[in-house]
Amino acid sequence: MNSLPSSAEHAATPGATRIVKGACPHDCPDTCALEYHVADGKLIDVKGSATHSVTGGVLCTKVAKYPLRTYHPTRIKTPLKRVGAKGEGKFVPISWDEALSTIASKFKSIIAKHGAEAILPYSYAGNMGILQYASMDRRFFHALGASQLDRTICSSAGAAGLQITLGARLGTDVEAFAHSEAIILWGTNPITSNLHLWSRCQEAKRRGAKLIAIDPYRSLSAEKCHQWLAIKPGTDAALALAMMHVLIRDDLLDHEYIAKHTLGFAELKTRVAEWTPERAAAICGIPANEIEALAALYGGTKKAAIRLNYGMQRHGGGGMAVRTVACLPALTGAWTEASGGLLLSSSGAYPMNTAYLERPDLMPRDANGKPPRMVNMCAIGDALYVTSPSRGGRTESGWGWGLAAEQQNPIPLPASPLKGEEPTPIHALFVYNSNPAAVAPDGNKVLAGLAREDLFTVVHDIFVTDTARYADIVLPATTQPEHDDIHRSYGHYDIVLNRRAIEPVGESLANTELFRRLAKLIGLKDPCLSESDESMIAHAFDWNHPTLAGQAFDSLERDGFLRLNYPKKDGFITPFLNGSFGTPSGKCEFYSEALAKRGLDPLPNYTPPHESDECDLANEYPLSLNTPPARNFMNSTFANIEELAKPHGAPTLQIHPNDAARRGIANEARVKVWNRRGEMKLAAKITTDTREGVATILWGHWRDHPGAEGFVNDLTSQALTDFGQGATFYDCRIEVEIA
Ligand SMILES: Nc1nc2c(c(=O)[nH]1)N[C@H]1C(S)=C(S)[C@@H](COP(=O)(O)OP(=O)(O)OC[C@H]3O[C@@H](n4cnc5c(=O)[nH]c(N)nc54)[C@H](O)[C@@H]3O)O[C@H]1N2
Ligand SMILES: Nc1nc2c(c(=O)[nH]1)N[C@H]1C(S)=C(S)[C@@H](COP(=O)(O)OP(=O)(O)OC[C@H]3O[C@@H](n4cnc5c(=O)[nH]c(N)nc54)[C@H](O)[C@@H]3O)O[C@H]1N2
Ligand code: SF4
Ligand SMILES: [Mo]
């Protein structure tokens, strides 16, 4: 490991508290600047930085209790070897030497027998630090020639939608929301998932702004807005098209902005002429007069901000929905006000040295110059479990995945995510920063895959998660105060530095150090595979880029954070004030030539969900299932911390009184929820918080949570979105009955 860096070096008097600057690593747009309070080498408290304006000295409940996680009694402290059956969770401690040499020799024999593509890394955003998320790990798997993982589980549909319309992942400055006159929370629940944006919304509300939530579920945030529009899941694009219809019909437009900075207004006008509020009302389940009022409010001020988030993306038409909603601010000229516009993600703002950090050039190429195959992480169930393109047979082949595909899932399956004539099955899975047994859709298939006797699985984590229970080797990972890192954000425009404050707990190793050691042991020779964390931190951004002009690493070290240079108005970043969109035309593209060239609809449109009210399954499975994240957890992270899990309680199925009455379900009755993919038993909670026709389970528990049998993601689907090949967790039909 590296020696403790400068900020941690000040040897304090015994008992005295030392403060080390950090960054929150969790998958949250706020990327708070932290202060680690350390006494006698122990982390005693974590506070939000008061000088970092976005954080404002405030943390969410989860991270405010961080020492509980860092020193949790169930933390993995040494490498472990499985001694029970896969899934049983029985392990014995082993040394790092034994663990790493087992992995190295297993990988070598798999490569010799099946080729390196039989090895698949599986990682996501357990740690969003630039180093711990994607640096040495990527270099290692690239040099090995392993299959590539397409990391699509969260934001790829929305990223693709934004790219088409705006050409960039940039948006309204989170701090400018405080000055908006109208705020639309569209498919987002910031009290849970974006606390520091919510505090700005509240400030705007106190100043007289009108707040509206568009959501099938009356979330904690929707409850505190002036109005809740209970939209039918997956129909947001229809609503946006009708809003544009009204804006154009009533001339609530910024003609100058449209003329200068947009492309295809005439074509858009023709398209939305068909989208009367009445037509949209029939699709969205929102009355036409409410659509009219929403459009009038939105068009009545340029200080109208849309916080658009993932609710609408996790449906078959999610990419098109984002592309369509993203057209709104250019029509009214809301981009000309700092407190107008739209925010989905700001992650595209940073001048990243991605090629340097990840070294894709290390990947081997086949005779046609193609790099190793790509496996979509949303379809890990199929990728692990169905190892043949014929899908039915092969149970006898020694791949050992047991149950026949038909037996497991009688509905027609999507094409195998393993491309090629006779694809090589995955023989080794290396999981870190993720928990696929809990977070990936179609969980029964994921578990059947993880249970394959011929699959060698390694899990690097802080706890024995639902996935780690299936591992052959489990490796202990550090928590954020135990390693160095540098962060970008997807909700603000700052770089935040994280300095190591304490020694690693037990024998835990950071992701970067793990892959450095493994590369050496396997005999991978490229010098980049031994680069230090400090050097990668220094090279993570292009410091000569205009967005960093006049800024220096030294100030980052001193303050813990710094803000990128972007056009400002009233002191806030206002990215599209003067147009400068990232699209091929440099304009906001109502009409997209890039889509037309691919034979796709070049204009905004409504694409129904895969499992819509009109689909073939709707009679058998009349309800939609919505499974957004719970406030006290971070995806499946924190759900094992008693102090956070207890206040949340057992999972419940929230169901509308009319849907409950039709099924004779009383409040708190135990119900069975099922579809052709899986089932779950839990208590019903009858409430008008979820719209009729939609049942809601707040998600984040681990599989073995008391009070429920079965699991949320056993019900969800591996089908992908229209753009970006993203996940469709909320595009899910179910039926419910008394258990
Ligand atoms: N506390 C906490 N914070 C988190 C997370 C967590 O698990 N816990 N997860 C983090 C991650 S990984 C992410 S990606 C973000 C997610 O951040 P957000 O996208 O803001 O997620 P939610 O806050 O759940 O809000 C999604 C809302 O969309 C609604 N919804 C579902 N379907 C539709 C639809 O078709 N249309 C519309 N309009 N709304 C719909 C849901 O009911 C839900 O209220 O949050 C991050 N922050
Ligand atoms: N039903 C349903 N399913 C969903 C969603 C939903 O809304 N509904 N949301 C989806 C979304 S948006 C996302 S982003 C995914 C999230 O999926 P994941 O990114 O897999 O999120 P987590 O469940 O938090 O798992 C992260 C794991 O990484 C570990 N970890 C943390 N830090 C480190 C580290 O430094 N090193 C290593 N090696 N491990 C570390 C944590 O302990 C944890 O076990 O889930 C998706 N699944
Ligand atoms: S999870 Fe989000 S709100 Fe909580 S401390 Fe981390 S960045 Fe801040
Ligand atoms: Mo996510």
Which sequence spans correspond to the domains of the chain?
157-344+577-597, 617-738
Q: 629 and 698 in contact (C-beta within 8 Å)?
A: yes
Ligand 3, residue 25: give the atom nearest the CA: 6
Please give the average per-residue pLDDT across 133-143, as a whole number. 98
Q: What is the pLDDT of residue 14?
A: 75
Ligand 3, residue 60: give the atom nearest the CA: 4
Q: What is the pLDDT of residue 15?
A: 79
What is the average pLDDT value for the chain, to the nearest integer? 93
Place of tokens 């009070």: 707
Q: And the tokens for 160?
A: 């693709």
Ligand 2: centre distance to CA 183 (Å)? 29
The arrangement of secondary structure in 157-344+577-597, i.e. its CATH architecture, is: 3-Layer(aba) Sandwich (3.40)
Residue 331 reports pLDDT greater than 90: yes
Please give the average per-residue pLDDT across 552-559, as a whole number. 93
Q: 446 and 470 in contact (C-beta within 8 Å)?
A: no
Please give the average per-residue pLDDT across 530-548, as a whole number. 97
Residue 218 reports pLDDT greater than 60: yes
Ligand 1, residue 155: give the atom nearest the CA: 14
Q: What is the pLDDT of residue 401?
A: 26
Provide the pLDDT confidence category of residue 417 given band limits of 50, 70 and 90: low
Please give the average per-residue pLDDT across 525-554, as a whole number. 96
Residue 146 reports pLDDT greater than 80: yes
> What's the Rg (C-alpha) of the chain?
25
Report how many helices (DSSP H) and strands (DSSP E) the chain contains, helices first. 28, 30
Type of residue found at 429: L
Residue 20 reports pLDDT greater than 70: yes
Please give the average per-residue pLDDT across 705-716, as a whole number. 94
User: Picking from 64-78, 317-331, 378-392, 573-587, which range would have the lowest pLDDT averaged per residue?
Assistant: 378-392
Q: Is 374 helix (H, G, I), strand (E, B) or coil?
A: strand
Provide the pLDDT confidence category of residue 420 given band limits of 50, 70 and 90: low
Please give the average per-residue pLDDT across 164-180, as a whole number. 98
Place of tokens 């993306």: 313
For domain 617-738, give its CATH number from 3.40.1350.10, 2.40.40.20, 2.40.50.140, 3.30.70.580: 2.40.40.20
Q: What is the pLDDT of residue 329?
A: 98
Instruction: Compute how many other C-beta atoms are within 10 angstroms of the C-beta atom of residue 250.
Output: 12
> Ligand 2 pocket by C-beta < 6 Å: which residues?
27, 124-127, 132, 153-154, 432-435, 438-439, 460-463, 465, 477, 511, 627-629, 634-637, 699, 712-713, 716, 729
Ligand 3, residue 63: give the atom nearest the CA: 5
Same-fold call for 157-344+577-597 versus 617-738: no
CA–CA dist 733, 735 (Å, integer): 7
Q: What is the pLDDT of residue 424?
A: 80
Residue 604 reports pLDDT greater than 90: yes
Q: What is the pLDDT of residue 386?
A: 54
Residue 416 reports pLDDT greater than 80: no
List all residues 6 or more positions away from 140 whose beta carbon is below 8 Å from its beta carbon.
Answer: 515, 518, 519, 524, 529
Residue 408 reports pLDDT greater than 70: no
Residue 403 reports pLDDT greater than 80: no
Q: What is the pLDDT of residue 174?
A: 98
Provide the pLDDT confidence category of residue 9 given band limits of 50, 70 and 90: very low
Q: 272-295: per-residue pLDDT in tens? A: 999 999 999 999 999 999 999 999
Please give the average per-residue pLDDT across 202-211, as a whole number. 98
Q: 242 and 604 in contact (C-beta within 8 Å)?
A: no
Please give the average per-residue pLDDT across 715-726, as a whole number. 95
User: Picking from 5-19, 183-197, 256-270, 384-398, which range would have the lowest pLDDT averaged per residue?
Assistant: 384-398
Percent of the chain at pLDDT exceeding 70: 93
Q: 441 and 383 in contact (C-beta within 8 Å)?
A: no
Residue 219 reports pLDDT greater than 90: yes
Residue 398 reports pLDDT greater than 70: no
| Nearest one of 739, 672, 699, 721 to 150, comparing CA atoms | 721
Q: What is the pLDDT of residue 422?
A: 59
The Cα angle at residue 522 between residues 1 and 118, in degrees rounded to 5 = 120
Number of the ligand closest to the Cα of 60 = 3
Residue 411 reports pLDDT greater than 80: no
Residue 400 reports pLDDT greater than 50: no
Q: What is the pLDDT of residue 385?
A: 73
Ligand 3, residue 196: give the atom nearest the CA: 3
The residue whose CB lies within 8 Å of the most ligand 3 atoms, and thus the one to mutate among 30, 53, 488, 492, is 30
Instruction: Compute how many other C-beta atoms are within 10 angstroms of the C-beta atom of residue 97.
Output: 11
Instruction: Compute how many other C-beta atoms are within 10 angstroms of the C-beta atom of residue 17.
Output: 12
Residue 402 reports pLDDT greater than 90: no
Number of the ligand closest to the Cα of 459 = 2
* Residue with CA closest to ligand 1 atom 32: 311
Of 461 and 387, more confident? 461
Q: What is the pLDDT of residue 405?
A: 33
| pTM, full prediction | 0.95
Ligand 3: centre distance to CA 365 (Å)? 40
Q: What is the pLDDT of residue 389?
A: 35
* Residue with CA closest to ligand 1 atom 17: 193
Residue 102 reports pLDDT greater than 50: yes
Residue 529 reports pLDDT greater than 60: yes
* Residue with CA closest to ligand 1 atom 21: 188
Q: What is the pLDDT of residue 706?
A: 86
Of 548 and 7, more confident? 548
The residue whose CB lies within 8 Å of the most ligand 2 atoms, and thus the one to mutate among 314, 480, 635, 720, is 635
- What DSSP string runs through 53-114? TTTTT---HHHHTHHHHHT-TT---S-EEE-S-TTT--EEE--HHHHHHHHHHHHHHHHHHH
Please give the average per-residue pLDDT across 543-557, as a whole number. 94
Instruction: Compute how many other C-beta atoms are within 10 angstroms of the C-beta atom of residue 443.
Output: 25
Percent of the chain at pLDDT exceeding 90: 90
Provide the pLDDT confidence category of residue 419 given band limits of 50, 70 and 90: low
